[in-house]
Amino acid sequence: MPTMDIYREAIRRTLTQRAGDAPDANAVAEAAISTWQKTAAQIAPVIGVGGIDVLFNRSLHLTCIAFPWLTIVGDHRDHSALLANIKAHLASRDTDIAVEAGCTLLVTFTELLISLIGESLVERLLGPVWVPLLPGSEQENKS
């Protein structure tokens, strides 16, 4: 499995696990924001809050190409308001769409971060945030 596919699956599993056993779009939105906050906390010592904001805003812009309803109009400098708007937008969608959009936003951020600091450092920093994937043989047995 290519590396970004592994990250995408780890992020998707993280969102679905944090959303609970019978998730609705609101639980998925909460899980996406919670995962983002944990991600930002892990990355801040390396690239700073300003770097995080730039990468997050770029990630949001790129994610909005596939999910135009996620577009947030206005000033993105108020990070709390931005996250609240993203959460509201995700919560207003069907659960599967909210999972896909939240996952895409986090994967896009991860891709941009890898291009900036490298895959090895991203794995070390974000590994504790994501739900680990089962080894290949165990995944196949679970299917």
Mean pLDDT by 10 residues, the chain (143 residues): 80 92 92 96 95 95 97 81 94 96 96 94 91 52 41
Task: Dig out the tokens for 143 from the structure.
Answer: 């299917």
Whole-number pLDDT of residue 133 = 59
Whole-number pLDDT of residue 45 = 95
Whole-number pLDDT of residue 138 = 41
Report, in this order, helix, strand and coil percent for the chain, each rounded to 5: 80, 0, 20
Q: Domain map of the chain by residue range?
A: 3-128
Q: Phi/psi class of residue 22: alpha, beta or left (left: φ > 0; alpha: ψ in -120 to 50)?
A: beta
Whole-number pLDDT of residue 78 = 82
Q: What is the DSSP letter of 21?
A: S
Whole-number pLDDT of residue 4 = 82
